[in-house]
Structure 1
Amino acid sequence: MVSEYGKLIHYVNQDGRVNALYSSPSIYTDAKYALDKSWPLKTDDYFPYADRINAYWTGYFTSRPALKLYVRMMSGYYLAARQLEFFKGRIETGPTTEILADALAIAQHHDAVSGTSKQHVADDYAKRLFIGYKQAEDLVSNSLACMVESASASGCKNPRINFKQCPLLNISYCPPTEADLAPGKKLVVVVYNALGWKRADVVRIPVVNKNIIVQDSTGKEIESQLLPIVKESIAIRNYYATAYVGESPTSSPNYWLVFTATVPPLGFSSYVITSGKQAVAASIPQTFYKTDGSQSDSVEVGSGNLKLLYSANGGKFTQYFNKRNQVRSSLEQSFSYYSADDGSKDDHKDIQASGAYVFRPNGSFPIHPEGKVPVTILRGPLLDEVHQNINSWIYQITRVYKEKEHVEVEFTVGPIPIDNGIGKELVTQIQTDIKSNKTFYTDSNGRDFLKRIRDYRADWDLQVNQPAAGNYYPINLGLFLKDNNNEFSVLVDRSVGGSSLVDGQLELMLHRRLLNDDGRGVAEALNETVCALGKCMGLTVQGKYYIRIDSLGEGAKWRRSFGQEIYSPLLLAFTEQDGDKFTKFPVPTFTGIDPSYSLPDNVAIITLQELEDHTVLLRFAHLYEVDEDKDLSTKASVELKRLFPKRKINKIKELSLSANQERVEMEKKRLKWKAEAPSDSREVARGGPVDPTKLVVELAPMEIRTFVIDLSQSVPEGWKSHMSL
């Protein structure tokens, strides 16, 4: 059957003066290249986009924030699962990561992670991710069991140990850790680190009993801390655990047990939790109340270098101070919401409501505490927490860790009230005294940071009729602003929308609940609900963002290194053991690389995967831009022999980024375009070829390199040779 286009092509070609044909991207590109002209360079992007007045496509930066977090969590989990599959050795039968890989690929669709699908379609994306996770979870458990039992890479098929994991740990639901340990029983926690460098991070697990102690794999007691689980968290836990698991929890934990895990690169450490005669010291709450009175007195929070000051009467941030580098700034955080415009006052031919795609506010309204609300401080040896019940649908916990120099803010938002028939878009603002002069910086897919200037575009004369929506940008990693003295950075745990609408201030949109469709194809309102325990409620979202202020030029180190830790959190697996039979694992701690080696601070390993033919797909990324950091924006080198210390590298091939062709062949076919070079044009640096003898990979700033490596399959000395004691 001939299409209408086919008919058009047929009759045009009959004329003879024009040759019409079905084109392709390559044909179009070749035609442009044949013009042999110089082309302008564009180094920024086209955000924010609007297709007409009042229709800025900046709402989808935040739409469906729970799904956005789920995709981010599964992406990090997938990275770790592939590593563990490689260390154990891929087998033809049994669980793999392939179903999760397919689900994550589908979730990258522009109507999936963007949050612009119908509700039942979004549910299907989440379902596919969960199915993929369950098979990857089995692979992770089996791999860890084989590795702690010291099985060889090829000889472990039926490990004895049964590891369990807790995908709902963020809402304090983790049945393996909630058992009341009987005498002689112990809970073993294996902590896996998917990053290429050693890290020390705080682990939080829910427990029932406070009479417990934490020990490392050598039997040394580890300093720990108990934090009470507040009733607001228990209510969310019970409701959402029932919704996701299908049955109500039979009991509730009383405390968060907190301890610091130190884990080698691409490896794991194990910790043992047992009943103790003396209880771990529980954090003592100190409570004061938010009022509108004088804020002359301050309360200090933080036992390490970082100190936060709160007004004793107002219960608000007032100051940030790092005594190590003497960085000090005023700091104030607040909540507000944008009332969603329903388009009812528009011309009937040009109605525009706020919806899944479009952010169209109709006024901004600050959120004030409802009456005399308590602010509670919990202090302890590892961290301090500040609990604030902002109102009936916003709860916030601010954490300051003794050994860290950033602020962690955990928010719980929802259900957003819609009783008045108006949709709302919740934001938080963090105000400092930094003189940013309309300028701020947002990441581009977690890689470059692009300069943004409020109400300004470099390429054209901008007319902004929506001051908020017209200045919103997608935030995948974070955003920051700076002046002549300091940098103020905020990192996020998922993709959200953000901006700087006031000098010295950064704003994040945390949640959206809307009652109208915006006419861009979804054909339903973005009004997410969850049903459980016989009732349906608007979606409650829990998440985190992180704050830090540095001296000018010092902020990139934290943004890049901690950004990797956010994306790749420590992976936890649990098993209960009888003290009489299993006092410790044969391999209690492990690193997959040379124990004396770690990746350079400016390099991340973003793929380590054994393929079906048993070759290894390996990707490295340089984390820094040119001139971003005085020490780390330089070429870096990775020693492959130390990355695979017990495996012989037989052959290595460099591929294109997507690993579908060899780089040598790709370079032969690459078109050499002429460019209208800007005044600051510099040749792009690249790492050199890999010497087959030295086997060292060079990476220039922002470079990503992809390789397929043929490794010998034997592991001569077994897993014990990889132990890092």
Structure 2
Amino acid sequence: MLNVHLVPHTHDDVGWLKTVDQYYYGGRNNIQHAGVQYILDSVVEQLLQNPERRFIYVETAFFYRWWRNQRPSMQTTVRQLVDQGRLEFVNGGWCMSDEATTHYSAVIDQMTLGLRFLNDTFGRCGRPRVAWHIDPFGHAREHASMFAQMGYDGFFFGRLDYQDRSHRMAKLNQELLWRASESLEPPHADLFTGILPNGYNPPDGFCWDQLCDDPPIMDDPDLEDYNVDDVVKRFKMIANAQAKVYKTQHLIMTMGSDFQYENANLWYKNLDKLIRYVNAQQANGSRLNVLYSTPSCYLQELHRANLTWALKTDDFFPYADNAHNFWTGYFSSRPALKRYERVSNGRLQTCNQLEVLGGPSSRKGPFGAGDSETLRKAMGVAQHHDAVSGTEKQHVANDYARMLAKGWQRCQVVVSNSLAALSGSSAGRVYCDNLNISACPLTEASKEFSVSVYNPLARPVVWPVRLPVNGSAYGVRDAGGAPLACQVVPVSEATRQVRKDRGHAANELVFLVQAPPLGYSTYSVSRLQNGPPPASATPGPPAAIQNQFVRATFDPATGLLASLTNLETQQTINLTQNFYWYNASDGNSSVSDQPSGAYIFRPNSSTPFTISSSAKTQSIQTPELQEVRQRFGPWVSQVVRLHSNSKALELEWTVGPVPIEDSLGKEVFTRLDSSIRSSGIFYTDSNGREVLRRKKDFRPTWDLKQTEPVAGNYFPINSRAFIKDDKDQLTVVTDRSQGGSSIQDGSLEIMLHRRLLYDDVRGVGEPLNETSAVFPQGLVVRGRLLLSLAPPPLAADAHRPLAQENVLPPLLTFTEGGPPPGALLEFSGLQAALPPAVHLLSLSRWDDHSLLLRLEHQYQTRESKQHSGPVTVHLQKLFSTLEVVGVSEMNLSANQWLDEMKRLDWRPTTGGRPLKKPLGDPSVWEVTLTPMQIRTFVLRVARRR
């Protein structure tokens, strides 16, 4: 038999054209008719009508909300449907996350959030066995690795590059084995992956939702419109055509689409008939068998076939649905939202940690009741493939930001309570969230204040602090009372323009702080009556800025960078950097009518426009800080910055409002042109973890016919990218997810901002033309890049810690006046710093007596001579205030005990069947980590007195 597995499903975006709330309740149906609560109501009712019927559900954020509103009798009914396998959860995260613009730590968090709810509510029968990413616009290798480590048996997705699909259809390779890590021993990161035949829609002519136009099955033979014979004939043709491009006698068909099944009776009544009439033909010799099914049932049949499967080791980026339609614009769309999501991720990790370290009083303490849950759920929603991706309507983007802001307000209470408990001081704390534009009312007005620096990393950090002030001289003392070197510099004109009336500081106070691992240090700042005057800015570029580690020279004629030197290794490269823009296609072209938009990047020429061939410059050179302030025009400026301890050169860029008076949409990027001989090769990270090799105009698994020489070579950069030759490696560390490429040898370009005048006809229905109340003329965006130069064997030792600090920077809190008498001014939650190769990825409250801990080896195999070996950590010697009295190891998503996690084995066509090696014994206190391994534990703890 040719078995056709019909999978009834709905795809419910956690925000896109409407907000999450509007989608759940069915509000704003003038935008899009969709109401998730009615879908779940209707599906449950229809499942009860026929025990053969099945349904899968994906987005836990919606299901969680629906579940809380149900009566106990309905909850009992739904539990029975789940236990019977008739209602099956797939994927199971809080959302279906984007794969290009998300950071792995945030993805793990949102998956854990959704899967824990399903675990707690439904037990083993509610645990998804299949990852289901039917809508994301390209697929990351790190996502596959994470899904494998979360215990999934397989992964299904819908979108695939049109050339790749054609190639795979011809080779019968639309189902494959994805080996998603170069470091983890197979099969720990191996994942069976299937490409769905119709994206995630039903076959043509077989859509029976209330929003569909296809005719129902009319099976009364006395009717003129009787169509059973036609329906059966057309379905047979579709099934037989699909069978020609898949390997087994089992086919999967997705019966549903966006927000369908609001009236589930329409679907199920016709599906019942389809199954009955097609299967009735078996009596006449038909070998076609149709059944209600789920992805896990289908996967089980593929496994029983006992075949070998093609092996894939790269990723599925970039994605194109046609020759001139590359979905590479969303790598950079809405750069301010992308940055806010990354900042919020760091704040959530800090909130989680302090909730653990501060104990019960962190949730209910002197500053009231707070929680980490609100921000955790907001971050879970923000990972959605139409959220951080930037592919939503403007009012929805605003709502995502609102939810993150609300979550941070709740977390501020947790942080304040925890720091009060740890320090012994309940002095009021102030949070200054606009320091990037030099605005903080407390520091601007106060003659004396304290700043506590909390470091969420498990190693000490030295961090430059820049505080807006109005005095001309200040004294700074550390937690021990020792004076620190500091510098007052004038606020730049670019900062004044971008902050407008949100702050009035004339100067910035700059000093270096040192914070202990997983702890805080408190610094006192006082204004001096008599002190050195602020540093002044000198017109023109300096010959060079340098410290003991880095030297950067400038072209005196243009004011642009000219070279970069690593003084420790005595290596120098020629390096220039400038800003450019591509003219975005408006769709009026003889080649293609595809315009650039929120999803699609399509410049109308491969040759960019230079914003300015030179920069007007000012420089500040002091022992503590050196800056070259560059102005490239009225809407682009930059500060090239080097602190006294910096091993990387900082480029703080400010772009906007992007002008559109010329009626041209603009894709603004910066390009670094170096003397490195990169030979068309560059490297980008995958979701912030492992690094992938990229080659211009090339795909590892098929012969690419390149049709867009710029957009077709753009890839997602989540935290870093680099180019290298035998001697030199130039790494760029980013502060948010961005798109980038190496179009010319020796160059790296990174997209910073996009302002477009046309919709790209992918459903969002509005151009990516961001404005705000503060910037009605167009959004201004500020960010920073860090440049690191090192010999290739040493480069990872530099860029891994840099990227980590960018994701988890210290949190500053302020109090009026000096440190309270008797307060503990310095604290570390660890007995000692973790080894350099080990990152404390997660530390959060699990229940009243337990915590969730994830330890990560942050280096790849052979990436670092010093740090790419196994590392051991003793769990009982970890915390300074917590005694670990019990440990249980879990899978990555913390919804199964590791020793109970059983996955299906799959055989690749090459390499044989890999032997499963244990990744460490969870029964011992000493935990060994191998390169790129993450180990997850629930620790039972007691608080030390």
- SS in structure 1 at match of 2:343: helix
Following the alignment from structure 1 to structure 2, what is the Cα–Cα distance between the partners of residues 187 and 683?
Answer: 60
Identity %: 39
Describe the shift of the 1:224–1:568 C-alpha distance in structure 2 as closer, same or farther (beyond 3 A): same
1:204 lines up with 2:466 in the alignment: yes
The CA deviation at 1:645 is: 4.0
Following the alignment from structure 2 to structure 1, what is the Cα–Cα distance between the partners of residues 468 and 437?
Answer: 10
| Residue 635 (structure 1) aligns with | 870
The CA deviation at 1:653 is: 0.9
Following the alignment from structure 2 to structure 1, what is the Cα–Cα distance between the partners of residues 705 and 288?
Answer: 41
| Residue 313 (structure 1) aligns with | 557
Whichever residue aligns with residue 572 of structure 1, its letter is: L
1:191 lines up with 2:428 in the alignment: no
Asked if structure 2 preserves the Cα contact closer than 8 Å seen for 1:635 and 1:687, the reply is no
| Residue 310 (structure 2) aligns with | 40
1:591 lines up with 2:853 in the alignment: no
| Residue 624 (structure 1) aligns with | 859
The CA deviation at 1:280 is: 4.7
| Residue 703 (structure 1) aligns with | 933
Asked if structure 1 preserves the Cα contact closer than 8 Å seen for 2:559 and 2:615, the reply is no
The CA deviation at 1:646 is: 4.1
1:606 lines up with 2:606 in the alignment: no
1:478-497 matched pairs, under 5 angstroms: 478-497=720-739
Following the alignment from structure 1 to structure 2, what is the Cα–Cα distance between the partners of residues 585 and 401?
Answer: 33
The CA deviation at 1:481 is: 1.1
1:105 lines up with 2:357 in the alignment: no
Tell me the alpha carbon deviations over residues 85-131 of structure 1, each in whole angstroms, 9 at most, x when there is no partner.
Answer: 11111356510110000000001110000000000111111111111
Following the alignment from structure 2 to structure 1, what is the Cα–Cα distance between the partners of residues 689 and 671?
Answer: 24
| Residue 31 (structure 1) aligns with | 301
| Residue 245 (structure 1) aligns with | none
| Residue 397 (structure 2) aligns with | 122
Describe the shift of the 1:170–1:282 C-alpha distance in structure 2 as closer, same or farther (beyond 3 A): same
Residue range with higher mean Cα deviation, 9-18 or 356-365: 9-18
| Residue 650 (structure 2) aligns with | 408
Q: Which of 878, 881, 890 is 1:655 aligned to? A: 890
| Residue 905 (structure 2) aligns with | 672
Asked if structure 1 preserves the Cα contact closer than 8 Å seen for 2:829 and 2:881, the reply is no
1:86-485 matched pairs, under 5 angstroms: 86-90=356-360, 93=364, 94-149=369-424, 160-181=426-447, 186-238=448-500, 241=502, 249=503, 252-280=504-532, 282-288=534-540, 299-346=543-590, 351-363=593-605, 364-369=607-612, 374-485=616-727
- SS in structure 2 at match of 1:416: coil
1:570 lines up with 2:829 in the alignment: no
Describe the shift of the 1:683–1:544 C-alpha distance in structure 2 as closer, same or farther (beyond 3 A): farther
Following the alignment from structure 1 to structure 2, what is the Cα–Cα distance between the partners of residues 682 and 486?
Answer: 36
Tell me the alpha carbon deviations over residues 638-695 of structure 1, each in whole angstroms, 9 at most, x when there is no partner.
Answer: 12112124433222111111111111111xx21122123359x997876311344xx1
Describe the shift of the 1:686–1:483 C-alpha distance in structure 2 as closer, same or farther (beyond 3 A): farther
1:703-722 matched pairs, under 5 angstroms: 703-712=933-942, 714-716=943-945
Asked if structure 1 preserves the Cα contact closer than 8 Å seen for 2:431 and 2:814, the reply is yes
1:551 lines up with 2:791 in the alignment: yes
Following the alignment from structure 1 to structure 2, what is the Cα–Cα distance between the partners of residues 99 and 147?
Answer: 23
Following the alignment from structure 2 to structure 1, what is the Cα–Cα distance between the partners of residues 532 and 927?
Answer: 47
Asked if structure 2 preserves the Cα contact closer than 8 Å seen for 1:90 and 1:614, the reply is no
Describe the shift of the 1:685–1:237 C-alpha distance in structure 2 as closer, same or farther (beyond 3 A): farther
| Residue 85 (structure 2) aligns with | none
Describe the shift of the 1:584–1:223 C-alpha distance in structure 2 as closer, same or farther (beyond 3 A): farther
- SS in structure 2 at match of 1:116: coil
Asked if structure 1 preserves the Cα contact closer than 8 Å seen for 2:828 and 2:880, the reply is no
The CA deviation at 1:332 is: 0.4
1:20 lines up with 2:293 in the alignment: no
Q: CA RMSD in A?
A: 1.9
Following the alignment from structure 2 to structure 1, what is the Cα–Cα distance between the partners of residues 379 and 850?
Answer: 23
Asked if structure 2 preserves the Cα contact closer than 8 Å seen for 1:212 and 1:278, the reply is no
| Residue 59 (structure 1) aligns with | 329
Following the alignment from structure 1 to structure 2, what is the Cα–Cα distance between the partners of residues 322 and 547?
Answer: 11
Asked if structure 1 preserves the Cα contact closer than 8 Å seen for 2:478 and 2:524, the reply is yes
1:78 lines up with 2:348 in the alignment: yes
Following the alignment from structure 1 to structure 2, what is the Cα–Cα distance between the partners of residues 193 and 683?
Answer: 40
Following the alignment from structure 2 to structure 1, what is the Cα–Cα distance between the partners of residues 915 and 826?
Answer: 45
Following the alignment from structure 1 to structure 2, what is the Cα–Cα distance between the partners of residues 358 and 647?
Answer: 50
Whichever residue aligns with residue 783 of structure 2, its letter is: G
Asked if structure 2 preserves the Cα contact closer than 8 Å seen for 1:217 and 1:269, the reply is yes
Following the alignment from structure 1 to structure 2, what is the Cα–Cα distance between the partners of residues 25 and 162?
Answer: 53
Following the alignment from structure 1 to structure 2, what is the Cα–Cα distance between the partners of residues 623 and 6?
Answer: 51
Whichever residue aligns with residue 315 of structure 1, its letter is: G
Following the alignment from structure 2 to structure 1, what is the Cα–Cα distance between the partners of residues 540 and 880?
Answer: 56
The CA deviation at 1:276 is: 2.0
Asked if structure 2 preserves the Cα contact closer than 8 Å seen for 1:203 and 1:260, the reply is yes
Following the alignment from structure 1 to structure 2, what is the Cα–Cα distance between the partners of residues 325 and 341?
Answer: 45
Asked if structure 1 preserves the Cα contact closer than 8 Å seen for 2:537 and 2:618, the reply is yes
Following the alignment from structure 1 to structure 2, what is the Cα–Cα distance between the partners of residues 83 and 689?
Answer: 26
The CA deviation at 1:555 is: 0.7
The CA deviation at 1:8 is: 1.2
- SS in structure 1 at match of 2:749: strand
- SS in structure 1 at match of 2:411: helix
Describe the shift of the 1:55–1:258 C-alpha distance in structure 2 as closer, same or farther (beyond 3 A): same
The CA deviation at 1:584 is: 4.3
* Greater helix fraction, Structure 1 or Structure 2: 2
Following the alignment from structure 1 to structure 2, what is the Cα–Cα distance between the partners of residues 368 and 476?
Answer: 26
TM-score (norm 2): 0.69
Describe the shift of the 1:381–1:678 C-alpha distance in structure 2 as closer, same or farther (beyond 3 A): farther
TM-score (norm 1): 0.89
| Residue 246 (structure 1) aligns with | none
Asked if structure 1 preserves the Cα contact closer than 8 Å seen for 2:788 and 2:799, the reply is no
Q: Which of 747, 754, 769 is 1:505 aligned to? A: 747
Whichever residue aligns with residue 285 of structure 1, its letter is: A
Asked if structure 1 preserves the Cα contact closer than 8 Å seen for 2:490 and 2:536, the reply is no
Following the alignment from structure 2 to structure 1, what is the Cα–Cα distance between the partners of residues 485 and 784?
Answer: 25
Whichever residue aligns with residue 528 of structure 1, its letter is: E
Tell me the alpha carbon deviations over residues 561-597 of structure 1, each in whole angstroms, 9 at most, x when there is no partner.
Answer: 11110001110000012x5xx5545211000111xx2
Following the alignment from structure 2 to structure 1, what is the Cα–Cα distance between the partners of residues 659 and 880?
Answer: 57
Residue range with higher mean Cα deviation, 500-509 or 609-618: 609-618
Residue range with higher mean Cα deviation, 269-278 or 90-99: 90-99
Describe the shift of the 1:335–1:684 C-alpha distance in structure 2 as closer, same or farther (beyond 3 A): farther
- SS in structure 2 at match of 1:84: helix
Of structures 1 and 2, the one with the larger relative CO (CA 8 A, separation 6+) is 1
Following the alignment from structure 2 to structure 1, what is the Cα–Cα distance between the partners of residues 392 and 713?
Answer: 24
Describe the shift of the 1:407–1:684 C-alpha distance in structure 2 as closer, same or farther (beyond 3 A): farther
Describe the shift of the 1:72–1:254 C-alpha distance in structure 2 as closer, same or farther (beyond 3 A): same
- SS in structure 1 at match of 2:773: strand
Asked if structure 1 preserves the Cα contact closer than 8 Å seen for 2:308 and 2:909, the reply is yes
Following the alignment from structure 1 to structure 2, what is the Cα–Cα distance between the partners of residues 330 and 73?
Answer: 33
Whichever residue aligns with residue 642 of structure 2, its letter is: V
Following the alignment from structure 1 to structure 2, what is the Cα–Cα distance between the partners of residues 427 and 388?
Answer: 16
Describe the shift of the 1:180–1:651 C-alpha distance in structure 2 as closer, same or farther (beyond 3 A): closer
Show structure 1 runs of 5+ residues with no match. 150-158, 242-248, 290-297, 717-725
The CA deviation at 1:27 is: 1.0
Higher-Rg member (1/2): 2
Whichever residue aligns with residue 648 of structure 1, its letter is: E
Following the alignment from structure 2 to structure 1, what is the Cα–Cα distance between the partners of residues 381 and 388?
Answer: 9
